[in-house]
C-alpha cells in the first residue's frame, strides 16, 4: 500500500486526492501516490478530455475501454485520472495535454515534466480566490 500521506505535490504541499469516481491511482486509493512499485510514474492528476483520450488511444494507451481484470473502468471526458507523466508530456508535445490539478499531482512528475509546463494547464482553484474576482 502507498504512503500517500507522506508524499508531496508539485507545489511542495501534502498530496491531495485526485479522484474517487472512478477510483484512480496506481494503488487505486484515489491519489497519485507513486511508491517504488509504480515504475510508470502515475503522477499527473489529469482531467481527461476527449482529445486527450483519442490521442492516448492513437499512441497505444487505450484509456477509454474498461479492463475489469485491472480494476480499470474506462474513462470518459471530465474524469480525473492519475496518468503516467511521460504519457502526459507526450500529449503536451502533440498539442492535446489534458488539464492538470496541481494540488493532486505528485512531485515526482517533476522528474519528467517542468513545473512551468504543468502550470500552463492547471485547473486548480487557489485557496484565496480574491485574485480571481
> How confident is the model at residue 72, as a pLDDT?
84
Per the CB < 8 A criterion, the answer to whether 121 and 45 are in contact is no
> How confident is the model at residue 5, as a pLDDT?
60
Assess whether pLDDT exceeds 70 at residue 129: no
For the full predicted model, state whether its pTM sits above 0.85: yes
pLDDT band at 130 (very low <50, low <70, confident <90, very high): low
Per the CB < 8 A criterion, the answer to whether 124 and 101 are in contact is yes
> How confident is the model at residue 126, as a pLDDT?
63
> How confident is the model at residue 131, as a pLDDT?
54
Vertex 60: Cα angle to 57 and 66 (nearest 5) = 60
C-alpha 18/C-alpha 39 separation (Å) is: 19
What is the percentage of the chain residues whose pLDDT exceeds 90? 80
How many residues would you count in the chain? Answer: 133
Across the range 112-120, mean pLDDT stands at 96
Helix (H) or strand (E) holding 86: helix 85-93
> How confident is the model at residue 3, as a pLDDT?
45
Assess whether pLDDT exceeds 80 at residue 56: yes
pLDDT band at 2 (very low <50, low <70, confident <90, very high): very low
18-41 pLDDT, tens digit per residue, is 999 999 999 999 999 998 899 999
C-alpha 55/C-alpha 67 separation (Å) is: 19
64-87 pLDDT, tens digit per residue, is 999 988 778 899 999 999 999 999
Per the CB < 8 A criterion, the answer to whether 34 and 9 are in contact is no
Amino acid at each position: 500500500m502507498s504512503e500517500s500521506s507522506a508524499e508531496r505535490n508539485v507545489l511542495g504541499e501534502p498530496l491531495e486526492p485526485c479522484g474517487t469516481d472512478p477510483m484512480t491511482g496506481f494503488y487505486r486509493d484515489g491519489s497519485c501516490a507513486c511508491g517504488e512499485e509504480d515504475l510508470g510514474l502515475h503522477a499527473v492528476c489529469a482531467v481527461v478530455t476527449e482529445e486527450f483520450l483519442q490521442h492516448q488511444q492513437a499512441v497505444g494507451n487505450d484509456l477509454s475501454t474498461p479492463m475489469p481484470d485491472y480494476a480499470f473502468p474506462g474513462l470518459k471526458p471530465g474524469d480525473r485520472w492519475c496518468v503516467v507523466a511521460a504519457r502526459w508530456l507526450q500529449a503536451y508535445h502533440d498539442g492535446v495535454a489534458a488539464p492538470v490539478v496541481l494540488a493532486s499531482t505528485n512531485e515526482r512528475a517533476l522528474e519528467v515534466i517542468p513545473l512551468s509546463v504543468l502550470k500552463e494547464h492547471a485547473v486548480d482553484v487557489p485557496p484565496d480566490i480574491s485574485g480571481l474576482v
